[in-house]
Amino acid sequence: MNIDKLYQSIKTIRRVEEVVAKIYPTDKIKSPVHLGIGHEAVQVGVCENLQKQDVVFGYYRSHPLYLAKGGNLNAMMAELYGKITGCAKGWGGSMHLVDIEHNVMSTTAIVASSVPNAVGYAYALKLQKSNQVVVSFFGDGATEEGVVSESLNFAALKKLPILFVCENNELAIHTKRTQRQAVLDICGRARAIGVPATHIDEYNIETIYNIAGDLVEKIRNGSGPQFLEIATSRWLEHVGPGEDFKLGYRTEDEVAPYRAQDEVERLGKQLNPAVRAQIDQEIEHKIAQAVEFAESSEFPPQQELLKYVYK
Amino acid sequence: MSTSNRSISYVEAIREATAIEMSRDSNVVLFGLDVDDPKGTFGTTKGLAEQFGADRCFGTPLAEDGMTGVAVGMALAGLRPIHNHYRMDFATLAMNQLINVAAKTHAMSGGMQNVPMVVRMLIGKSWGNGSQHTQSLYPLFMNIPGIKICAPSTPYDAKGCLEYAIRDNNPVIMVEHRMLYYSTGHVPEGELLVAPGKARVLVPGTDVTLVGISYQSVECMRAQNYLADIGISAEVIDPIWLSPMDIDTIEASVRKTKNLVVVDNAWTICGAGSEIIASLHERLGDIAWRSKRLGFATTPCPTTPSLEDHFYPTGQSIAATANDLVNGGAQYWYPTAKDELKSVEFKGPF
């Protein structure tokens, strides 16, 4: 485990999200943002075990996934701004990030929609006798969608090389899981379908890194699908740059333990202060460059409107 | 039998097209409920699992939404999946993946990704199949940019459309009416491609244009025959591809006949007929012409034959409507059924 590298990744994501939140009220960002502050240890802990050729699928809260998998920061920022230099040339926005070079294959706005896509990709890899692994990220709400059960079943049936990662923040927009699920044992449901499942109930990046690493290795060695549920916390509102405790659907106390042991700070304290300062400085520089890149890029011209109906 | 006039059924044409493409390209995979069972989707997939292996041809769990999503994922990874639905009605379980994912991936990725996949959707009729086994939902999909749709009515076009669809780089829905499955017609051996962009004039005529979608092109052929008996010359057109559609051929015909009956194999509201007539209105402002839509009665399909008989347009009802249009409603006429019109499928030349 390279703590410097983990820190570099998780700190970058945290700072990008904070900068996005700061810019958002200026209306320069032309796409609704579902910020991942509080989730970052999941994406970083899992993706640090992946190789460039491994493939990830995510959902609408996927800035952290995109960056943790190596996605191009300039292109992401320009995408949020709706610029032609964006990772999807202004056609995707915050909810549809893609980076083919780094195998960030798709992130979707419709809950759970990318889960079967990830399974199909894994089927293709198996047919092609590839050594690559697919990781599908989704939230606890997605596990209520029928398609997740369908996807787990097919992955188990065909013993596909895929890791399902459930980021359990206990919320679907403003509704708690206890109001949505009769049986709260998500891993039990995966196991019942035939996918071995592991539950991490402490939000700790080293634990996530180690367990995800074991699972990825198992999958690469032909174990078939694995399911990993990770307890996490969404610090901000469902969509938008701020907090929303005033709405009353949850209290600040519920997030407090996660904030108190903030993984970004906790990792940072393990670093040599001079090294940490150096990393922090580089991150600020990269983010400033990305914002400058996005702001100075052009919007797509009108001729682009009908360009991508068919290939 | 020589190659030049070989005649095979619609079922055999689909099976042959699939086998040719699966041989040509190892990325083509085929799946759907029971595609590998002894019946092989009414014969259209029979023997393919044995020929190409269970990895490339397999029956699926009952999970239309999930398996459509699987097809999209396969396509992103470089495969060319074909997904079968025994009944088009079941495809409604897969609308999210078809409309929100497959149709939009190319655009949402700024053109960097695309989803080459074929979704075969079979339509049923008669036999008391009732409301949930008889729907013909292609108009829903015609409304969605990013999906191509074909509805071939002859064995020749079934083979050519399917081979084209498999090679196309976009999601393609192929609408197959089971009443056409055992019709036979000329189909050349070897590779055959029928691309979008050219409707087929099945019978030339001068007085009225009959556009028939899917199985209704056969009913239009019957209508053409009835109309000939009273001296009305009908031109019958099969659009073959509904998205994108060749409006030019229909426009040229209506410029000649000044009368158009469009017969949807579906409900008429916001149907292919509505689209064709609206498109022609934008093009034919310079001439006087009349039009009429026919299609399913605006109600779910009944099961009992006494009502079902009146649910679908027939050769007789189409002919009566066309006569009404040509003669301005002056002479009511409804043809007496002719048994010899049971087999009037278009046999070429293609």
- Given the cut 0.90, state whether the ipTM is greater than it: yes
Q: What are phi and psi for residue A178, nearest 5 degrees?
A: -65, -20
Contacts of A87 in chain B (CB under 8 A): 110
Contacts of A307 in chain B (CB under 8 A): 111
Three-class SS of residue B235?
A: strand
Q: Which two tokens stand for residue B142?
A: 């015609």
Three-class SS of residue B332?
A: coil
What is the tally of helices (H) and strands (E) in chain A? 11, 8
pLDDT at B66: 98
Inter-chain contacts counted by CB atoms under 8 A, chains A and B = 141
Domain ranges of chain A: 3-304
Mean pLDDT across chain A, nearest whole number?
97
**In B44-86, beta strands by DSSP E:** 57-59, 80-85
Domains belonging to chain B, first-starting first, are 3-186 (3.40.50.970), 200-342 (3.40.50.920)
Q: Are B94 and A144 in contact (CB under 8 A)?
A: no
Out of A100, A120, A307, name the one closest to residue B71 (CB). A120
* d(C-alpha A37, C-alpha A40), whole Å: 6
Segments of chain B with pLDDT less than 70: 1-4
pLDDT in tens, B60-103: 999 999 999 999 999 999 999 999 999 999 999 999 999 999 99
Question: Could you tell me the mean pLDDT of each successive run of 10 residues in chain A, 311 residues long?
Answer: 96 98 96 96 98 98 98 98 98 97 97 98 98 98 98 98 98 96 97 98 97 98 98 96 95 94 96 97 98 98 97 97
pLDDT in tens, A129-187: 999 999 999 999 999 999 999 999 999 999 999 999 999 999 999 999 999 999 999 99
Query: Is the Cα torsion angle B317, B321, B326, B330 positive or negative in sign?
Result: positive
pLDDT at B2: 47
Q: What share of chain A is helix, strand, coil (3-state, %, to 5)?
A: 50, 15, 40
CATH match of A3-304 with 3.40.50.970: yes
* d(C-alpha B256, C-alpha B260), whole Å: 10
pLDDT at B118: 98
Per DSSP, B118 falls in state: E
Out of B71, B74, B106, name the one closest to residue A308 (CB). B106
pLDDT at B49: 98
B64 catalytic residue (yes or no): yes
pLDDT at A187: 98
Q: Kindly determine whether residue B70 and residue A154, on different chains, have CB atoms separated by under 8 Å.
A: yes
pLDDT at B19: 98
pLDDT at B157: 98
- pTM, two decimal places: 0.96
* d(C-alpha A151, C-alpha A146), whole Å: 9
Q: Please check whether residue B113 touches A, CB under 8 A.
A: yes
Three-class SS of residue B80?
A: strand
Sheet holding A104-108, edge to edge: A104-108, A55-59, A134-139, A162-168, A226-231, A197-200
B189 catalytic residue (yes or no): no
